[in-house]
Amino acid sequence: MAPVIEKLVNGLKIGEGPHWDIQKQCLYFVDMPNSTINKYVPSTKKHTKATIGKHNISIIIPVRGKSDEFLVTIDNTISLIKWDGESSEVGAPKTLYEVEKGTNHVFNDGKCDKTGRLWSGTLGRSIKSLDDVVMKQGSLYSFYKTELLCHRKDISIANGVAFDHKWKKMYYIDSLCYGVDQYDIDLDQGTLSNMKTVFSTKHHGLNNNVLCDGMTIDTNGNLWVALFGASSVYNIDPRTGGVLQVIKFPAVQITSVAFGGRNLDELYVTSANLDGEEKGECPGTLFRVTGLSAKGLPPDEFVA
């Protein structure tokens, strides 16, 4: 059976950060420059959103044990908000940590591990186009309870994060490195080691206008990587660096991916509509892909 692609939500500027909520059977995601957090309920096809000031919003992850509380990254802060998932406004954000004070750096993509620790990185300047990025000004962080650790500096565009099902490997993307890196992860200590590159776009004939963006992982340990600039999601075997499958979309700027659905066998895909870049027929759309022979791992929530 060939994959089936559906268009669910349109009108996004930079759709990003999809996170499936198993308990509520809904998808949360953000529209970064439009400062919105979003909720989509597949069973009712209802889309709701709320605006958080005039800020760069890049991540929304539910807080474990709290039905209406979320971790969000607002500009260069890690914050908590309360949102009922219906109203167009949220409660006043509570800042947990501010990084890189005195800069205009912002958080980008990120995920939580099974301990509830957040892994996320920053980039220099908010992305309006690739020309706005200041090279090697970002960092990769983890945040657990009240402790912030910096694991890597000289990041250009901090992006996708994924963990294998044994919690031994973490996969990470700096988009301007044009590939996917793998680390050994020690969950008890919250540390990374033994970095190596497991996928390179250049080895597969892709030019420098194609960037690895967000990603997720399936139960077979294979990665699903959004390819910004290529209208594609690549299914990659990180053990060999080989491409197992390519899914094409009617949008050029594919930004991120997450498995969802009752059986975690549906792939939700976000995209952008950036000016000055090639866009395709349906830019700024949230898509759903069904008919895949893959299932995702349960996503983890933030522990406050």
164 is in an annotated binding site: no
Question: Residue 257 belongs to what H/E stretch?
Answer: strand 254-260
Closest CA relative to residue 273, chosen from 302, 259, 290, 253: 253
Which of 109, 181, 213, 265 is an active site residue? 213
What distance separates the 2 farthest-apart alpha carbons in the chain?
52
100 is in an annotated binding site: no
Per the listing, tokens 């971790």 go with 71
**213 appears as a binding residue in the annotation:** yes
Is 34 labeled as ligand-binding?
no
* Angstrom distance (rounded) from CA 63 to CA 200: 34
Token pair for 4? 């089936």
Distance CA 108, CA 17 (A): 9
Interatomic CA distance for residues 234 and 232, integer angstroms: 6
Active site residue 181: no
How far is residue 226 from each of residues 84, 161, 173, 177, 208, measured CA to CA in Å? 30, 12, 11, 15, 15
- What are the binding residues? 16, 108, 159, 213
- Residue numbers annotated as active site: 213
- What are the binding residues for substrate? 108
- What are the binding residues for a divalent metal cation? 16, 159, 213
